[in-house]
Amino acid sequence: MKRSQSTLIAAIAGGAAIAIGFVWNAMAEQGTDVPTESTRLSTAIFAGGCFWCVESDFDKVDGVVSTISGYTGGTVDNPSYKQVTYGDTGHYEAVKVSYDPQRVSYEELVDHFFHTIDPTDPRGQFCDKGPSYRTAVFVQDAEERETAEAEIETIEESGVLPGPVVTKVIDASEFWPAEDYHQDYYRTTPVRYRFYRQGCGRDAKLKKIWGDAAITAD
């Protein structure tokens, strides 16, 4: 009886290991960083206009393990894209970033974020205008707030931007993942994504605002 129980436990453990290996192999095939067993991941939430672009921009960062497009900051539970875009939900299009803090710091992520957006536009981002396309850093504790506010102060003191930073620093609230077709859109629909990004003028505007410090898809 004991041998049978031991065999069953070993089989379950082996199956779990295979399942984990399958997931990590899939992540590696998609170009996503694979965490080690000892990794403790942290999360950060940013709103930078179109979440397709924000996902794409963060996925290229060494130390970022995964990104999820979603909605946050509003009052409606489990909102749809249509509700957020055309309704009065108060939600932002946002991205939850899972990262390895041993490889990239929260401060580095915040700095990266600001150089992928126009933080001077209160109406939205690039060709996308409206409340859901505004920019924000959603902070989960006092330390993150201090880091985000310090970054904004540094940017404004540099005088590099054509106007004041209007990106808000907001306490994080419930994050609702967006519909499946929005996830990894730049990978699943690359031609349409490139057409959208170029047509929206995102990278051209970033270069105009930030100069050599701009982080673009190019």
Query: pLDDT, tens digit, for every residue of 165-207?
Result: 999 999 999 999 999 999 999 999 999 999 999 999 999 999 9
Catalytic site residue 50?
Answer: yes
21 confidence band (pLDDT: 50, 70, 90): very low
Is it the case that residue 17 has pLDDT exceeding 90? no
Q: Which of 50, 53, 127, 200 is catalytic?
A: 50
Tell me the C-alpha distance between 148 and 143, whole Å.
9
Q: Is the pTM of this model over 0.75?
A: yes
Run of H or E residues at 97: strand 92-99
- What are the structure tokens assigned to 91, written together? 């939600």
pLDDT number for residue 31: 52
The DSSP secondary-structure symbol of 180 reads: G
Token pair in block for residue 1: 């009886």
Dist. CA 109–CA 21, nearest whole Å: 28
Mean pLDDT for 38-57 is 94
Residue type (1 letter), 212: D
pLDDT of residue 18: 40
Which residue is it, tokens 């206009």?
49
Question: How far apart, in whole angstroms, are the C-alpha atoms of residue 199 and residue 178?
Answer: 23
**Element housing 71 (H / E):** strand 64-72
